[in-house]
Structure 1
Amino acid sequence: MEWLNTYAFPRETAHLDSDAATKEYTKLCNRLVAHGTTTVLIFGTIYKEACQRLALCLQAQGLRGFVGKVCMDRQSPDGYSEATSDSLADTEAFIKWVQQLHDNKIHAVVTPRFVPTCTPELLQGLGQLAAHFDTPIQSHISESFDEVEYSSALHPDNTGGDTALFDRAGLLRQRAVMAHGTCLTDPELKVLGQRGTALAHCPLSNFFFGDRVLHVRHAMRLGVKIGLGTDVAGGYSPSMLNAMRSCVIASRALCMSHYATASPHSQAPAPPQTEPTPNRQNLTGVATVASAEPGNSFCIPAPESRKEIQAANLLDWKGAFWLATVGGAQALGLEKTCGTLEVGKAFDALRVDTRHAAAFDVFPADTPMDIFQKFVNLGDDRNIKAVWVGGKLVHHKAS
């Protein structure tokens, strides 16, 4: 809650001034499209008018936007909270207002902020609204140790964590997207998979706030749909390219954490050393690294253990790109509309300049795949020269 109280809540409170909100949202939309974002799932504020301005800014930019009027009726700052009835009424009014835009690229999203700021009555009412209007849903779920502890303290009789509370309210369903989920248990992940609920994996944000790395491949094996996100202000980059790179790094960090508990070559104790420099002892067999200094002994997992861990958890740049495109489309129920370049789908695309690439170099021997991976791993907004959404050019800059 410290980050929310210091940064998010004051910024959102300022959007009571709709004109100020419009200026900031316009900058946000310009920034997102410049980084190649074509579709955005976004939390607005508790203010209906500000969320309408956000929807209009996305529409003016030509982006595909899923906008949520944030709902919170408890554990919120003075002056930035709602009565339950007002939150439900404004959510319904916002949904109807978006429908009247008659724009198939702009969607209203039922948005309880997260369990700590929403009473069971509010959650129940939002679940009913989502069912009645058949709208997407978004929230945060089991995102950190302190959030899990906070939710548990507010609901001491609840078993099953945030998942059970959302499920009882009817908020876990197709086109429901829950952010983070780094602290979800296997039984909870299975529930999400059964309900068709997706997770928004925001690895950069998780490194700062999540306390754990999301087990992406494990969650997918349990049937959970996963799309990649930036979390915008929760991380330090609005770029999906950086989100892809963070995704790969997070999977490698996850492998490292598993190495600590993997089967070692040998459990032989570290022999005492008089020299301060660590000395490797018979790495082909024992694989123990030892030093006289406390804490300088560790075991190297057996090669077969390392291979099993990597096969179960590791994501490469291709997997991260899939999460950023197909995974995101599946999470939002758009897999028949976008996510891949296929005949019959909307033309969502970027024109990438690799000839005058400030971020990386291209050599004559490079294959198209070499150049593509250089863009994913090294490119940035300087390489993105044009963006199309639904066949419409929404961003262009001179080469």
Structure 2
Amino acid sequence: MDAVQHVFKGTFIHSTTRCDLEIIENHMLGTDRVGKILFFEDAQIQSRLSQKWGFDESNIQALGNNEFFMPGMIDTHIHAPQYTFIGIGMERPLLEWLEHTTFPTEDTFCDVELARNMYNTVVYDRVKPIITPRFAISCSERLLNKLGKLAEKHDLHIQSHISESPAEIKEVRRLFPDYNNYTEVYDRNKLLTNKTVMAHGCYLTNEELCVFRERGAAISHCPNSNISLCSGHLDVRNALNHRVKMGLGTDVAGGYSISLLDAIRKAIETSKIIFMERSKSERDNNETQNKQQENMKPDEVNEDTQNGPMKTENNHNVLSYKEAFWLATLGGSEALGIDHITGNFKVGKEFDALIINPEAKDSPFEVNSHVSKEEMLQRFLYLGDDRNIKSVYVAGICVVPFPSNT
């Protein structure tokens, strides 16, 4: 029997493959010595769990009444060498920002000691080798082809950027005239696989999204960066309707925030902007059709026009906070191909979790006694910050607050 390292008791909120948000109250979760979840059961059978797993009930770590566990949030796209200039050059569009801010700074990382110090600051040690063509513009066709073959030979993960801005897409078309679209540049060179994560995708067509789905490739949605560099908006609803894997990314330093809470909020806001723009476009089209009908002669009005302007089916609706929560947790783990390791509180996965305390000192929001756990989660996602994050566990190890060396 595996030895029990931790036993927690309280409310757990996570996503599953069946629902975007599941709130599980009065439950107990136990982890083993390597940080994997051993059991996740109703606290009503606490005594039986103690006997089965051999832990002392006095060692159970119980959450406060309004506290809850949620899975650790997963950033699917970040640039470690850009961490040094977050918030700089935001007045420039993408390609100008790269030329004037990003590339000159990244050139300094030829200093190995500088690079080592920065990567140790930003990157957690749970890393894997990954093939990373920056984007098609910076690569020759021969390089892309060689990278694709290398990834195939060693079954490696792949990451890059795609369809981030109109200027970028225009340049890709100029450099790769024999390809039908941006997606095909990667696909024909074996760089679009079920281990691929492509950032942005603001202008991917439905045809390209179908290729993403067929290949099992994922999109990292980086709404802060998309807005900050005036790149565009990703229609998340459309991508999800095409059953494309997706997570959220901060894209530091194209995005000026390292917080996944910011990514959640901006993902929802972007979805609302798209919805409003689409609604306005449909209203304008309807007004135009109505005016055209008003100007038609009686004998030009047929049976179809008499029924009013032709209506198109609109399946678009805004991203809910539950879906954004899923994107930041389980969706991100699926995008990175690590959903068998992390993303929710399923038995056998590693215990990656946050303890959220809505009543923390100096909390940016207030909690009344009658507020439900679902409402508390909403307030945390929209209003909370690091003051509400009481503890952080990675693979069963408490990394925040930092363990005392004394």
Same fold (TM over 0.5): yes
* Aligned position for 1:226: 246
Name the aligned partner's letter for residue 211 of structure 1: S
- Alignment match of 1:252 (pick from 262, 266, 272): 272
| CA-based RMSD | 2.1
Cα distance in 1 between the residues matched to 2:349 and 2:394: 11
- Alignment match of 2:156 (pick from 135, 139, 162): 135
Residues 335-371 of structure 1 deviation map (CA, whole Å, 9 limit, x = unaligned): 2211111111110101222222521111111111111
Name the aligned partner's letter for residue 318 of structure 2: L
Residues 33-80 of structure 1 deviation map (CA, whole Å, 9 limit, x = unaligned): xxxxxxxxxxxxxxxxxxxxxxxx522xxxxxxxxxxxxxxxxxxxxx
Cα distance in 2 between the residues matched to 1:266 and 1:172: 43
Asked whether the 8 Å contact 1:193–1:223 carries over to 2, the reply is yes
* Aligned position for 2:318: 314
Cα distance in 2 between the residues matched to 1:13 and 1:244: 32
CA drift at 1:210: 5.4
CA drift at 1:211: 3.4
Asked whether the 8 Å contact 2:148–2:190 carries over to 1, the reply is yes
Q: What SS does structure 2 have at the residue aligned with 1:106?
A: coil
Cα distance in 1 between the residues matched to 2:286 and 2:203: 31
* Aligned position for 1:117: 138
1:82-121 correspondence to structure 2 within 5 Å: 105-121=126-142
* Aligned position for 1:58: 124
CA drift at 1:394: 2.1
- Alignment match of 2:119 (pick from 13, 16, 25): 25
Cα distance in 2 between the residues matched to 1:211 and 1:9: 18
Cα distance in 2 between the residues matched to 1:192 and 1:235: 24
Name the aligned partner's letter for residue 231 of structure 1: D
CA drift at 1:260: 2.2
Name the aligned partner's letter for residue 164 of structure 1: E
Cα distance in 1 between the residues matched to 2:135 and 2:96: 15
Cα distance in 2 between the residues matched to 1:202 and 1:196: 19
Cα distance in 2 between the residues matched to 1:148 and 1:265: 32
- Alignment match of 2:208 (pick from 180, 188, 194): 188
Cα distance in 2 between the residues matched to 1:385 and 1:17: 37
* Aligned position for 2:197: 177
Asked whether the 8 Å contact 1:204–1:230 carries over to 2, the reply is yes
Moved more, 348-357 or 234-243: 348-357
CA drift at 1:388: 1.1
Structure whose CA Rg is larger: 2
CA drift at 1:136: 0.6
Query: 2:183 matched to 1:163?
Result: yes
Asked whether the 8 Å contact 1:218–1:313 carries over to 2, the reply is no
CA drift at 1:148: 0.3
Cα distance in 2 between the residues matched to 1:330 and 1:221: 16
Asked whether the 8 Å contact 2:392–2:400 carries over to 1, the reply is yes
Identity score, percent = 41
Name the aligned partner's letter for residue 158 of structure 2: I
* Aligned position for 2:11: none
- Alignment match of 1:355 (pick from 353, 356, 359): 359
Cα distance in 1 between the residues matched to 2:226 and 2:235: 12
Cα distance in 2 between the residues matched to 1:227 and 1:251: 15
Cα distance in 2 between the residues matched to 1:217 and 1:342: 27
CA drift at 1:397: 5.7
Cα distance in 2 between the residues matched to 1:366 and 1:172: 45
Moved more, 342-351 or 248-257: 342-351
* Aligned position for 2:173: 152
1:191-202 correspondence to structure 2 within 5 Å: 191-202=211-222
CA drift at 1:5: 1.4
Asked whether the 8 Å contact 1:386–1:397 carries over to 2, the reply is no
Residues 115-145 of structure 1 deviation map (CA, whole Å, 9 limit, x = unaligned): 0000111111111111111111000011110
Query: 2:109 matched to 1:15?
Result: yes
Residues 193-236 of structure 1 deviation map (CA, whole Å, 9 limit, x = unaligned): 10000000001111133533111121122231111111121111
CA drift at 1:265: 7.1
Name the aligned partner's letter for residue 321 of structure 2: W
1:261-340 correspondence to structure 2 within 5 Å: 261-263=281-283, 309=314, 312-340=316-344
Cα distance in 1 between the residues matched to 2:387 and 2:116: 26
Cα distance in 1 between the residues matched to 2:280 and 2:375: 34
Asked whether the 8 Å contact 1:143–1:210 carries over to 2, the reply is no
Asked whether the 8 Å contact 1:359–1:379 carries over to 2, the reply is yes
Structure 1 unpaired stretches of 5+:
30-56, 60-104, 270-301
* Aligned position for 1:51: none
Asked whether the 8 Å contact 1:349–1:388 carries over to 2, the reply is yes
Asked whether the 8 Å contact 1:215–1:313 carries over to 2, the reply is no
- Alignment match of 1:374 (pick from 379, 386, 405): 379
Asked whether the 8 Å contact 2:364–2:384 carries over to 1, the reply is yes
1:197-208 correspondence to structure 2 within 5 Å: 197-208=217-228
Structure 2 unpaired stretches of 5+:
1-94, 292-308
* Aligned position for 2:236: 216
| Aligned residues between the structures | 288
Cα distance in 2 between the residues matched to 1:397 and 1:182: 38
* Aligned position for 1:346: 350
CA drift at 1:23: 3.0
Change (3 A) 1:367 1:9: same
